[in-house]
Structure 1
Amino acid sequence: MRLDYLSRRLIQFLIVLWGAATLNFLVPRLAPGNPVRERLVSAMQQSGPMQQGIEEMVRSYNVQFGLDQPLYIQYFKYMGSALRLDFGYSIAQYPVSVMTLILNALPWTIGLLTVATLLSFTLGTLLGALLAWPRAPRVLHYLVPPLMGLSSIPYYLLGLILVYLLALSVPAFPLTGAYSIGATVQLTPSFAVDVIRHAALPSLSIILAAIGFWALGMRAMMVTTEGEDYMVLAEAKGLRARRIFFRYATRNAILPQFTSLAIQLGHIVSGSVIVEIVFGYPGIGNLLFQAISASDYFVIYGVVFVTVLAITLATLLIDLLYPLLDPRIVYRRG
């Protein structure tokens, strides 16, 4: 891999990260209201009669959180804290730090997205390859209309349908949460089964919504391999159909799927945010929703920045590994 290409990709990565971080700082501040005042008023209303001196308390907390400083000073402090991944304390859950909240929610989102994405990508790619393979069973062709329908349904709508069918009408799976109320978090088979049952519906909504996209994309790529010289040569050699399918057709058609995977990462993550809200799943998406509802600037900063950082890093990694997947690719000076 050429060093100039690598440096260009790293520069693009830093520009995207800086732009996302800047928007992440500005957009929450465009919303009306003062998050400190709203939090204090809410706490006082829950505790009983309104207390006196709320304005002094608001000013005191504004100083403590740095919200009394000019916007450009807040921006430079924010960028410095973003480089250190230190976003301070949550306004709504003070004195809990932002990174504590993120680290508590991150494993649930990583587990949910990793399993759902791998299953949907693998099953969809294999199914799409079979749909375009001339020797595949003809009954598979009846799956094309349902796959097209699934690929056009949003994650959250599939989630609501699954909730109605499999949690309300037929209570086969839990309705919400990551594990049963009162359960102790421990590495035991019973707790693992409980976690899997709670994650089944959120995972299934992501898998069903994504599997149609991967299957139809792979089907289109497989069609382009028919009649290629390497396919004709493989058949002329008398190779077994299974070997031609996997070693020649699928191996060449799957390469654009990895490019699509890098492009779709943002869509997958944004879709999972809605899924976590629908199912009350304690992941990053649910944490972001709560932070937006409470105008908790610092939690919004942390969640969005960590999410953008993960997506851009994954996209960069896939882009850099692409020549290893297809040795024919050689990066030259543009």
Structure 2
Amino acid sequence: MSWRYLVRRILLLLLVMWTAATINFFIPKLSPRDPIKERLQLAATQGGRNQTGLQAMADAYAHQYGLDQPLWKQYLHALLKVVQFDYGYSISQYPRTVNSVIGDALPWTICLGLVSILIAFVVGTVLGALLGWPRSPGWLRALVPVSMLTSAVPAFVLGFLLIYLFAFRLKAFPLAGAYSQTANPGWSLSFAGDVLDHAFLPAMALVLFQMGGQALQMRGLMVMTVGEDYITFADAKGLRPRRVFLRYAVRNALLPQVTGLVMSLGTFIFSTVLVETLFAYPGLGGLINSAIQVLDFNLLYGITMILVFAVCIATLAVDLIYPLLDPRIRYDRR
């Protein structure tokens, strides 16, 4: 691999991060609401105290968060914090930092999203390859309409259907949450089983949504690949159908399939956030929902930058493993 190409890709990643940080910084500034003053007014109302000195307290907190500085200073300070991966204190959960709040929710999102997308990609790719292979059993063609349906229906709508069917009607799985209220969190088989039981429905909603699109895309790639000359030549040589299927058809269709997976990461992350909110799952989805309601700009800023960074790193990683999937790809100049 050419070092020049790697440097260009890293610079492109930094450019994307800077663009996302800039947009993420200026959009909340368009809101006329003051989150700190609203939080103080709510605390004063709930505590039955008068609002004497409320403005002084709001000014003190604004100074602590740096909101009393000129906009350009706030912008440079925000960029510096992005480089340091330090997003300050959470407005809604003060004195906790944004990193600690995100750190509690991020493992749940990673486990749910990563496992779901891996299962959906593997199953969808295998299913799509079989659907596009002309020698596959005829009964597999009945799965094409099912794949079209699941790929067209949003993940949160599938979540509603799964909740109604398996939680309300059959009562086979829990309605929401990550574990039972009576469970004792810890490294034990009983707690792990309880977590898997609660994660089944949200994971199933994400898998069905992503798997349908992966299957249809792989099916289209296989249909185009089967008509290539090297497939005809492999058949003419008398190679076994299994080898032609795996080594010639699937392998050549796999690279565009991986590219499609990377392009769908943004949509999948957005779907994961919505599904987590629907199932009251303690991941980033619930944090985003609560942060929007109370205008916790720092928390929103941190979550957004982490999600953008994750997509950029995943895109870069897949781009770097392309030569392993297809040896014909070379990034060095000859």
Q: What TM-score do the two structures reach when normalised by structure 1? A: 0.96
Which residue in the other structure is 1:185 paired with?
185
Which residue in the other structure is 1:167 paired with?
167
From the superposition, tell whether residues 66 and 239 of structure 1 become closer, same or farther in structure 2 (CA, over 3 Å): same
Which residue in the other structure is 1:236 paired with?
236
Counterpart Cα distance in 2 of 1:195 and 1:238 = 51
1:288 aligns with 2:288: yes
Counterpart Cα distance in 2 of 1:27 and 1:163 = 35
Of all paired residues, the percent bearing the same amino acid is 49
Which residue in the other structure is 1:109 paired with?
109
Which residue in the other structure is 1:69 paired with?
69
5+ residue gaps, structure 1: none
Counterpart Cα distance in 2 of 1:323 and 1:50 = 67
Is contact 1:67–1:74 with CA below 8 Å preserved after alignment? yes
Counterpart Cα distance in 1 of 2:225 and 2:69 = 61
Which residue in the other structure is 1:156 paired with?
156
1:322 aligns with 2:318: no
SS of corresponding position for 2:261 = helix
**Which range is displaced more, 283-292 or 198-207?**
283-292
Counterpart Cα distance in 1 of 2:175 and 2:230 = 51
- Superposed displacement of residue 191, structure 1: 0.3
Counterpart Cα distance in 2 of 1:247 and 1:17 = 38
5+ residue gaps, structure 2: none
Is contact 1:5–1:333 with CA below 8 Å preserved after alignment? no
1:42 aligns with 2:42: yes
2:9 is matched by which residue type in structure 1? R
SS of corresponding position for 1:184 = coil
Is contact 1:4–1:333 with CA below 8 Å preserved after alignment? no
1:148 is matched by which residue type in structure 2? M
- Superposed displacement of residue 49, structure 1: 4.5
SS of corresponding position for 1:176 = coil
TM-align CA RMSD = 1.5
Instruction: Give per-residue Cα distances to partners, 1:278-329, cap 9 Å, x unaligned.
Output: 1111111211121111111111111111111111011011112112211111
**Which range is displaced more, 128-137 or 41-50?**
41-50
Counterpart Cα distance in 2 of 1:303 and 1:270 = 12
Counterpart Cα distance in 2 of 1:40 and 1:199 = 37
Structure with more relative contact order (C-alpha pairs < 8 Å, separation 6 or more): 1
Aligned pairs (5 A) from 1:20-99: 20-99=20-99
Counterpart Cα distance in 2 of 1:91 and 1:228 = 59
1:253 is matched by which residue type in structure 2? A
Matched pairs, number: 334
